[in-house]
Amino acid sequence: MRDRSDKRPKEPLDTWVQRALRQEDRRREAIQDTQLGQVIGTFGNTCRAEVDRKVFDVAFAGSFCIVGDWIRFGENKTGEQQVVEVLPRRTKLSRPDVGGANKEKLIVANVDSVVIVVSVVSPPLHPRLIDRYLVAIQQGGAKPLLCVNKIDLLEDRSELDVLEPYRLAGVEIIVLSTRTQEGTAQLREALTGQTCVFVGHSGVGKSSLVNALLAKPTQEVRGVSEGYGRGRHTTTASSLHHLGDETVLIDTPGIRSFGIQDLEATEIGGYFPEFAKFACRFNDCQHIAEPGCGVQQAVIDGELDPTRYDTYRRLHAELG
Ligand SMILES: Nc1nc2c(ncn2[C@@H]2O[C@H](COP(=O)(O)OP(=O)(O)O)[C@@H](O)[C@H]2O)c(=O)[nH]1
Ligand SMILES: [Mg+2]
Ligand SMILES: [Zn+2]
């Protein structure tokens, strides 16, 4: 068990709980008319929520919400819009707070698919980052999709063979180039009707890709949120955009590392689905140093990708 004592409030717990409940009651009483909106961006203590393509700036007022969240909000006595309730999250994607003591940091809520954008040449492929994303995505309940951008930079298509381990792990893969537009129609089709978030290492082309998908000539740009720096190649916060009436695209800032939390070392194997093909002598085999381990043997026999297995070992050690 992790020690959570640092989160305990300074005042006696009863006093704190009572005060929090009173505050919440006051908020609900003060706000009669509420509406339901989806969070499309966050800025300090405010979020931007959208209702029928109309945009409102809404104060958090004690609630915490993230892009993709559905919130109930309304006008308080001072005439300011504020959050009354954050609805339960259908799915989520999170990572530990950098610098915080393993605290969960939500990246996005309520997405159907997480598109892991990678590049094979520039920047090079970061398999360990992909592996970690895949674990976190399964944990949060969304579906992963691996999107390989910048294929215009390849000298030979055989350079894409490095992705074979992910195909074996059952991940859908789409290769494309935002520059030449090859493959972008296929991605657009795969994402239709879904709420999708684009994640991945900085520089892989997430923002370019989101822009390319949104900029289709037949596409209505009316609903695209203002204030998003289109054409600029830095994204400092997540932003939500509509592609037609049914598809939502969320761009996220690039990250360089990605930890995993709230998992036991013994559970991590379940997040590497391709391991299940190989039988081990012991039912509770951790595939680290046990005799008769089918997974370790598969790596030796070249039937299992050594990099995927190496990520598994690292995660196992981190979480152990
Ligand atoms: N050659 C090539 N460059 C691309 C492609 N897509 C994006 N880029 C470039 O990659 C750089 C980073 O793109 P950006 O969208 O900012 O990446 P992000 O950090 O993942 O959002 C920019 O200079 C883009 O012009 C592509 O398909 N081919
Ligand atoms: Mg970007
Ligand atoms: Zn084993």
For every residue of 236-256, DSSP letters joined together read -S-EEEEETTTEEEEE---BS
Distance CA 58, CA 79 (A): 11
Give me 253's structure tokens. Answer: 């800032």
- According to the model, what pLDDT value does residue 67 have? 92
Low-confidence winner among 77-86, 188-197, 249-258, 272-281 (lowest mean pLDDT): 249-258
Please report which ligand is nearest the Cα atom of 283.
Answer: 3
Distances (CA, A) of 88 to 45, 74, 169, 187, 306: 20, 18, 30, 29, 39
Architecture category of domain 92-251 in CATH: 3-Layer(aba) Sandwich (3.40)
Let me know: does 41 contact 60? Beta carbons within 8 Å: no
Please determine, looking at this structure, whether the domain spanning 31-88 carries the CATH number 3.90.190.20: no
Nearest to 257 by CA among 114, 130, 117, 119: 130
Locate the ligand 1 atom nearest the alpha carbon of residue 180 and give its number. Answer: 27
Residue 277: pLDDT above 90?
yes
Mutation pick for ligand 1 pocket among 126, 133, 148, 208 (CB with most ligand atoms within 8 Å)? 208
Selected from 1.10.4100.10, 1.10.40.50, 3.40.50.2300, 3.10.180.10, the CATH number assigned to the domain covering 265-319 reads 1.10.40.50
State the Cα–Cα distance between residues 197 and 248, nearest whole angstrom.
8
- pLDDT tens-digit readout, 140-183: 999 999 999 999 999 999 999 999 999 999 999 999 999 999 99
Q: How far, in Å, CA of 243 to CA of 285, rounded? A: 46
Distance 203 CA to ligand 1 centre (A): 6
Cβ contacts of 73 within 8 Å, gap of 6 or more: 31, 34, 35, 37, 49, 56, 58, 81, 82, 83, 84
- Residue span(s) of the chain under CATH 1.10.40.50 come to 265-319
Greater pLDDT, 71 or 221 = 71
Query: How far apart are the C-alpha atoms of 92 and 114, rounded to whole Å?
Result: 10
CA-based nearest residue to 185, from 157, 212, 211: 212
Banded pLDDT at 218 (limits 50, 70, 90): very low
| Span 108-127, pLDDT tens digits | 999 999 999 999 988 889 89
Residue 35 has pLDDT above 80, yes or no: yes
| pTM for the predicted model, two decimal places | 0.77
**CA-CA distance, 213 to 22, in Å (whole number)?**
46
Q: Which residues line ligand 1 (CB under 6 A)?
A: 149-150, 152-153, 177-179, 202-208, 233, 235, 254
- Supply the Cα-derived Rg of the chain in whole angstroms: 22
pLDDT of residue 223: 29
Opening angle at CA 293, ends 288 and 297, nearest 5: 95
**Which residue has better confidence, 112 or 46?**
112
Could you read off the pLDDT of 95-112 as tens digits, one per residue? 755 455 556 678 899 999
Intervals of CATH 2.40.50.140 along the chain: 31-88
